[in-house]
Structure 1
Amino acid sequence: MNELLESVLEAHGGLRRWSQFSAVSTQIVTGGGLWALKGLVQDPTPRQMRVSLHEEFASVAPFGQPNWRTDFRPGRVAIETIDGEVVRERMDPREAFSNHTMNTPWDPLHRAYFNGYAMWTYLTTPFFMAMPGFEVSEIEPVHEASEHWRGLRVKFPKHIASHSDEQDFYFGDDFLLRRHDYRVDVAGSFPAAQYVDGMMDVQGFKMPARRRAYVRGPDLRPVRDLLMVAIDLSGYKFS
């Protein structure tokens, strides 16, 4: 295993402890400019997000109606009642984003798919990097203010849905996540730089309180006036 990845995994809680749990849930409050571009209304209602740790599954509630939730897997996304009755579903959901640009409107199933893969990626970082099929290599560091952040480039296997096949993650001197760069392929492949802070101790793991994703400029710098997605996270629980 890559030396930097080994240090990163240990700093975030360690693979041995990670293997003892199967899921994590957290309360999320979401904002940012992406939703208006997609013709969606984003309210500040807290929602409960749950993902599996060792397979790609995610669900958020409420979604659309007080008694509705999502059911996301890479090959299928659905909106269902809390009793499991399917309201709407879409098979092979990635194909529904074909030829989309940043401004192409989304329907609720587009939103559910995006939320599912994005939050699974965020809530399992960095541990998913040790799963079979992921390729990880160290890249040039970035310098932010007076800090020097080492980087890992991760190539995702085809069976895992995420923003893009290749994504970059940057870590501070304490080996904790600071920044996550990617292209949003489901929205015209615009480049994003997401900043992560407010790390807290949760049952032996380090988990962030805030995520802020900006459009990334050609010099790898964020365009601070273009905040695309903001996520506040609290009340984590591993089970």
Structure 2
Amino acid sequence: MDALLQAVLDANGGIARWETASTITARIEYGGPFWEFKGQPEFAGHAQVEARVHEEWIRFTQEGSGVVMVYDKNADTVTVSTAEGAVIDSLDHPRATFDGYDSNAPWTQAQMAYFRAYATWHYLVEPLIFTMPGVEAHEIESWNEGDATWRVLSVTFPDTIDTHNATQLYYYDEQLRFRRMDYAPVVNGGSPTAHYIRESIELGGLQVPTKRHIHIRNDDRTPDLSWVPITLDLQDVAVA
């Protein structure tokens, strides 16, 4: 195992702690103009979220409307339903529906649910996801962020895990705290993204990011901090 990956796992409770976990629940507020820009403003706001730790499955219950969204990678389906269970929108093989899309393309409700689902699941199970079958991780050249130097883990994901794109970068400070990730979502035309962890909490030995700001990334890997297209704020996080 890569030395940086091992150190990150040790700093996050150790692999044995993650192996005992089955689900993660949280109340998440999704903010920023991205949701409206994509034609789905109702996806902003608070949702109760439940994610399975060892398989790519996640459920959202939107506060206020009671709308329920479920993404199941094993079945390769996403479903959006009313609080009473009536299906509003659904997709089989949702990722394939984005073929040919650029960053300006509007999304259906099921497409938006898929994007939010795979992304949130991924965020909740880091860094355990780096040890899953077929994932390759290794340290690359460090990165200077202001006056700080961050170590960088390059992670490549197999097709068995839906995520933003195949190879993503993860940045850690001197205390091995997770500070940033870089990716380019293929579902959004490969838009370069710099995703910052602004706040975290310690929960039973696990370091859990609770405030995330997502920015456009410039060609030189610096972020455009002038605006924040997406924010995530987590509360009431629990690991079962």
Interval containing the TM-score (normalised by the shorter chain): over 0.9
Question: What is the DSSP-based 3-state SS (H/G/I as helix, E as strand, rest coil) of the residue aligned with 2:129?
Answer: helix
What displacement does 1:175 show? 1.0
Corresponding residue number in structure 2 for 1:144? 145
Provide the C-alpha distance between the structure 2 equivalents of 1:78 and 1:237, rounded to a whole number of angstroms. 24
**Which piece of structure 1 moves more, 165-174 or 39-48?**
39-48
Question: What is the DSSP-based 3-state SS (H/G/I as helix, E as strand, rest coil) of the residue aligned with 2:124?
Answer: helix
The number of aligned residues is 238
Q: Which amino acid aligns with 1:72?
A: Y
Structure 1 residues 222-233: aligned runs within 5 Å: 222-233=223-234
Q: Which amino acid aligns with 1:22?
A: S
Provide the C-alpha distance between the structure 2 equivalents of 1:198 and 1:226, rounded to a whole number of angstroms. 18
- Structure 2: runs of 5 or more not aligned: none
Corresponding residue number in structure 1 for 2:61? 61
Deviations 1:136-166 (A, max 9, x none): 1111111111111101111101111110011
Corresponding residue number in structure 1 for 2:93? 92
Asked if 1:5 corresponds to 2:12, the answer is no
What displacement does 1:47 show? 1.3
Corresponding residue number in structure 2 for 1:47? 47
Retained in 2: the 8 A contact 1:28–1:233? Answer: yes
- Structure 1: runs of 5 or more not aligned: none
Instruction: Please provide the CA RMSD for this pair.
Output: 1.6
Retained in 1: the 8 A contact 2:31–2:45? Answer: no
Q: Which amino acid aligns with 1:70?
A: M
Asked if 1:202 corresponds to 2:203, the answer is yes
Corresponding residue number in structure 2 for 1:221? 222
Asked if 1:129 corresponds to 2:115, the answer is no
Identity %: 32
Corresponding residue number in structure 2 for 1:27? 27
Question: What is the DSSP-based 3-state SS (H/G/I as helix, E as strand, rest coil) of the residue aligned with 2:7?
Answer: helix
Corresponding residue number in structure 1 for 2:164? 163
What displacement does 1:209 show? 1.5
Provide the C-alpha distance between the structure 1 equivalents of 2:42 and 2:139, rounded to a whole number of angstroms. 37
**Which piece of structure 1 moves more, 79-88 or 54-63?**
79-88
TM-score, with normalisation over the residues of structure 2?
A: 0.94
**Which piece of structure 1 moves more, 28-37 or 90-99?**
28-37
Deviations 1:24-79 (A, max 9, x none): 0111111123223212215763211121111111111127x733211102311111
TM-score, with normalisation over the residues of structure 1?
A: 0.94
Provide the C-alpha distance between the structure 1 equivalents of 2:41 and 2:67, rounded to a whole number of angstroms. 17
